[in-house]
Amino acid sequence: MANLASFFNALPGAVSQGLIWGIMAIGVYITYKLLDVADLTVDGSFCTGGAACVMLITAGYNVWLALLAAVLVGMIAGIVTGLLHTACGIPAILAGILTQLGLWSVNLAIMGMKANQSLNVANHELLVSLRYLQDVSKGERPFWQHPIFVAALFTLALVVILYWFFGTELGSSIRATGANPHMARAQGINTNFNIVLGLMISNGLVALSGALLAQYQSFADINMGRGAIVIGLAAVIIGEVVFSHIFHNFGLKLIAVSIGSIIYYVVIQAVVSLSEINTNYLKLISALIVAIFLTIPYWKGKYFAKPVKRGGSSHA
C-alpha cells in the first residue's frame, strides 16, 4: 500500500511532465502526421532547447527571452534537417539522424562543454519548476504557479495558434504537401519550402518543450532528449487510439496528443511506483509499447480483416 501512496504522491509530477513532453509530442505530430516525415532531429533539438534556456537564465537573462531563444535554436535545427532533405536530397530519416548527431556537439558547446548544467531555483524566477509544485501544495505559492496549470496554459495557447495557422492558406498548403506532394506541386505549392517550414515549426515546439522541462527539473542534460521521438510517437499513438472516435477537429486532435503524453507518463509512473523495476528498463518498456501500438493497426488490416460480403454477386 505504501507503493500506492507513493504513486498518488507522484501523480501531479507525472501529469506535469506529461504536459510538458506533450508540447514536444505536438511537434512530432506535425512532422509525423501532417508532413508524413519521421523526423529524428527531435532527440537533439529537445536538448538544444533545454541547454539554451538554462545557459541564458543562468547568465541572468529574462526567462521569457531564454524561452524565445530556445525556440529559435530549435527552429534552426529544423531548418538544417529540412535543407539536408530538400536541397541536398538526403532521405528524411537520415537527414534527421545527421542533424541529431551534429547537435550532440552543439549541445555540449552550448553547455560550455559540460554534460549537464544545473539551474539554481532559488536565484531565478522560473515558469515551471518541480519546486513550485511542492511550494503550491504547501501553500507558499499561488495555485497559478503550479506546473500543471502553467504547462496546460502553454499547451492551450499553442493549440489555438496551431489551429489557426493550419487553417490559413499557408498552413493548408503544408497539409497538402504531406497528404499528396504531386497534387501540391500541380497546384503551385512549393513542397520543398513547406517541408522546411514544417520541420522548423515542429522543432521550435520541441525545443520549447525541452526548455520547459529543463526549468521544471532545474537542469539541462546532454541525454535529456534521448528517445524523445519514441515518447512523441507514443503520445501521438495513444492519443489517437483513445480519442480518434470522438475527436475529429484538428484542435482536439492536438489536445488528444497532449493527453496521450500525460497517459504515457502516468503509466510509466505507475510502473515505477507499483513494481520494483529498475528504472533503467524504462526505455525498453517505452520502445516495446510504441512497437506494439504501431503493430496493432498493421496486423489488424493484414490478419484480422473481416471478409467483405458482396451484395448481389449471385445475380452477376
Partner 1 sequence: MLEIRNVYKTFNPGTVNEKTALDGLSLRLEEGDFVTVIGGNGAGKSTMLNAVAGTWPVDSGNILIDGIDVTRLPEHKRAKYLGRVFQDPMMGTAPNMQIAENLALAARRGDARTLKVGITRAELAEYREKLKELELGLEDRITAKVGLLSGGQRQALTLLMATLKKPRLLLLDEHTAALDPKTAAKVLELSDKIVAENKLTTLMVTHNMRDAIAHGNRLIMLSAGRVVLDIAGEEKKKLTVQDLLQRFSTASGEEFSNDRALLS
Query: Min. distance of Cβ 173 from partner 1 in angstroms?
Result: 4
In angstroms, the Cα distances linking 51 to 215, 239, 263, 271 are: 10, 29, 27, 29
What does the alpha-carbon distance between residue 175 and residue 110 come to, in Å, rounded to a whole number? Answer: 34
Query: Min. distance of Cβ 147 from partner 1 in angstroms?
Result: 32
Q: Which residues contact 56 (CB under 8 A, 6 or more apart)?
A: 65, 66, 69, 70
The answer to whether 185 contacts partner 1 (rule: CB under 8 A) is: yes
Query: Min. distance of Cβ 86 from partner 1 in angstroms?
Result: 12
Query: Min. distance of Cβ 264 from partner 1 in angstroms?
Result: 25
The answer to whether 184 contacts partner 1 (rule: CB under 8 A) is: yes
Rank residues 20 and 200 by Cβ distance to partner 1 and give the closer one: 200
The answer to whether 253 contacts partner 1 (rule: CB under 8 A) is: no
> Using the rule CB under 8 A, which residue among 183, 277, 287, 291 binds partner 1?
183
Amino acid identity, position 167: G
Number of residues lying near partner 1 (CB under 8 A): 22
The answer to whether 2 contacts partner 1 (rule: CB under 8 A) is: no
What does the alpha-carbon distance between residue 68 and residue 212 come to, in Å, rounded to a whole number? Answer: 11
The answer to whether 245 contacts partner 1 (rule: CB under 8 A) is: no
The count of other CB atoms within 10 Å of the CB of residue 210 is 36
In angstroms, the Cα distances linking 153 to 47, 142, 216 are: 22, 15, 15
The answer to whether 179 contacts partner 1 (rule: CB under 8 A) is: yes
Query: Min. distance of Cβ 166 from partner 1 in angstroms?
Result: 8
Query: Min. distance of Cβ 314 from partner 1 in angstroms?
Result: 21
Say if residues 293 and 267 touch (Cβ distance below 8 Å): no
The answer to whether 191 contacts partner 1 (rule: CB under 8 A) is: yes
Q: Which residues contact 4 (CB under 8 A, 6 or more apart)?
A: 273, 274
Among 24-32, 59-67, 90-98, 184-192, the segment contacting partner 1 (CB under 8 A): 184-192
Specify the 3-state DSSP secondary structure of 47: helix
Q: Which residues contact 33 (CB under 8 A, 6 or more apart)?
A: 178, 236
Query: Min. distance of Cβ 191 from partner 1 in angstroms?
Result: 7
Among 84-92, 182-190, 226-234, 262-270, the segment contacting partner 1 (CB under 8 A): 182-190
**Residue window 112-151: x/- pattern of binding to partner 1, with contact defined by CB under 8 A:** ----------------------------------------
The answer to whether 313 contacts partner 1 (rule: CB under 8 A) is: no
Query: Min. distance of Cβ 87 from partner 1 in angstroms?
Result: 13
The answer to whether 308 contacts partner 1 (rule: CB under 8 A) is: no
The answer to whether 244 contacts partner 1 (rule: CB under 8 A) is: no
The answer to whether 180 contacts partner 1 (rule: CB under 8 A) is: yes
- Burial degree of 219 (CB within 10 A; 0-12, 13-18, 19+): middle
Instruction: Give, as ranges, the residues between 152 and 171 that touch partner 1 (CB under 8 A).
Output: 165, 167-171
What does the alpha-carbon distance between residue 67 and residue 184 come to, in Å, rounded to a whole number? Answer: 34
Rank residues 27 and 171 by Cβ distance to partner 1 and give the closer one: 171
Say if residues 128 and 20 touch (Cβ distance below 8 Å): yes
Which of these, 195, 174, 188, 194, lies nearest to 250 by C-alpha position? 174
Residues near partner 1 (CB under 8 A) are 165, 167-173, 175-176, 179-180, 182-191
